[in-house]
Amino acid sequence: MSSFLQCLIDSVLLGGLYSLMAVGLSLGFGVTRIINFAYGEFIMLGAYGAFFCSTLAGIDPLISLPLVMTGVAGVSGVIFELCLRRMLRAPAINQILLLFGTGLVLQNLAAILWTGDARSVSTPYSLTAEELGDLYIPDGRVIAFLVAAVLIALLLWWLRRTEFGRATRAVAQNRDAAVLMGINVTVVYLISFAMNAALGAATGAIASFLLTVTPFMGFHMLVKSFAIVVLGGLGSIAGTLAGAFVLATAETVVAYYVPDGIGWAEGVAFVVLLGVLIVRPRGIIGQAVEIA
């Protein structure tokens, strides 16, 4: 019984982190209809940002979080202005490959500048845990969950209650009509792209004290984010959240109950992704999939 509860707790805590990770990608796609194949690298930049703030200035990742998010958002803004802006009407293949290439550049710049050594941030809470009877609840994970919850709540509030958030939703739902409202769609795209990067950076900053930080960590997380977004349905934030928890639960269950589970858990995302594509491409909640 207690192993079941432990599994549940771990799933939920992991789900929180995955939610944050996937929501960024989902937002970006929902608005711009471009899948950011460099998303993993924004996560990676956030992780390194937190790492350097911690080792060079002794700042805890939670405190450097806003700074890291802003910094990476800034980088993404530059990428948008330099590269993406002229490609907004280009065929999907060009956009995909452009972002893929950008991600590659960032990855390898990081590898050259900061070497491929694995890093991580140790904070007071990354090693402690609460113990309730048989249950083991790592503090680091709880804090990650809380941060994720706060950020996602802020995002939802922004989308629903602010002028610009509403404009963003409008662009996502009907781009041409949004133009007629006097909304500058390119600016909306830019802001969405930046927010996508910021949320990724936040994920990275949290990951810095939970996982190891390497220049190539992003690719793996990109694949997982895809799995979640496809599972939940492209373009639906609620679906993404649901998908995050489903994937987190699936991975945790596999890690617990399958022999050698911890290794196999990494492959669950891939199975989920292909499974969804075969069975129900529109995902749990998402919109009808456009057949091209």
Partner 1 sequence: MTALLEISGLRAGYEESVVLEDVSLSIGSGEVVTLLGANGAGKTTTMRAITGLIAPSGGTIVFDGQDLLRARPERRVDLGIALCPEGRQVFPNMSVAENLLLGSFCRHARARRAEMLEQVYHLFPRLTERREQKAGLMSGGEQQMLAIGRALMACPRLLLLDEPSLGLSPKMVQLVFGSIVTIAEAGMSILIVEQNAQAAFGVARRGYVLAQGRIAASGTIAELARSGLVEQAFMGIEAATKREAACLTSAT
Partner 2 sequence: MNAAATAHPPRPAAAARQQMRAQVAFVLYLLAAAAGITLPLVGGPLAVDLMLRTGSVIILAISWNLAANAGLISLGHSTFWGLGSYTALLIANRLGLPFVTSLIPAAAIGALVGSGLAVITGRLRGIYFAVATLALSEGLRVVSVMLPDLTGGSAGLYIDQALRPAPRLVAVATTMCAVMTALVAHLLSRTPFHYACRAMRNNEHASQMLGVNPLRFRIAVLALSGGIASLAGGINIWYTGFLDPDIGFDLHITILAQIGPILGGIHSLAGPIIGGMATIVISELSRIWLGEQGYSLLVYGVILVVSIMFMPHGIYGSLRRLAARRPRRPVPVRAREVAS
**Distance from C-alpha of 148 to C-alpha of 154, rounded to nearest angstrom:** 10
Task: Tell me which residues in 160-189 interact with partner 1 (CB under 8 A).
Answer: 163, 166-167, 169-170, 173-174, 176-184
Pairwise CA distance, residues 202 & 7, whole Å = 25
CB of 188 to partner 1, least distance (A): 11
Are 168 and 31 contacting, i.e. CB atoms less than 8 angstroms apart? Answer: yes
**Cα(191)–Cα(159) distance, integer angstroms:** 12
Number of residues that bind partner 1 (CB under 8 A): 16
Residue 220 touches which of partner 1, partner 2, none (Cβ within 5-8 Å per kind): partner 2
| Interface residue with partner 2, options 135, 175, 220, 285 (CB under 8 A) | 220
Q: How far is the C-alpha of 204 from the C-alpha of 199, rounded, in Å? A: 9
The residue behind tokens 């796609």 is: 29
Q: Total residues contacting partner 2 (rule CB under 8 A)?
A: 48
Helix locations, 33-138, DSSP H: 39-57, 61-79, 92-114, 124-127
Please tell me whether residue 291 binds partner 2 under the rule CB under 8 A: yes
Residue 110's nearest CA partner among 220, 257, 218 is 218
Q: Does 83 bind partner 2 (CB under 8 A)?
A: yes
Please give the Cα distance from 27 to 44 (Å, whole number): 19
Closest CA to 156 of 21, 70, 27, 15: 27
CB of 278 to partner 1, least distance (A): 28
For the chain, how big is the Rg over CA atoms in Å?
19
* CB nearer partner 2, residue 163 or residue 260: 260
State the Cα–Cα distance between residues 261 and 256, nearest whole angstrom: 6
219 binds, among partner 1, partner 2, none (CB under 5 to 8 A by kind): partner 2
User: How many C-beta atoms surround the C-beta of residue 41 within 10 A?
Assistant: 33
Q: Which stretch binds partner 2 (CB under 8 A): 55-63, 93-101, 153-161, 174-182?
A: 93-101
Nearer to partner 1, 148 or 237 (CB): 237
| 18, 37, 42, 189: residue in contact with partner 2 (rule CB under 8 A) | 37
Q: Which of 76, 107, 123, 126 binds partner 2 (CB under 8 A)?
A: 107
Report if residue 108 touches partner 1, rule: CB under 8 A.
no
131 binds, among partner 2, partner 1, none (CB under 5 to 8 A by kind): none
Q: How far is CA 183 from the centre of its chain?
A: 27
Q: Which residues bind partner 2 (CB under 8 A)?
A: 35, 37, 83, 86-87, 90, 92-94, 96-98, 100-105, 107-109, 111-112, 116, 219-220, 222-223, 226-227, 230, 260, 263-264, 266-267, 269-271, 273-274, 277-278, 281, 289-292
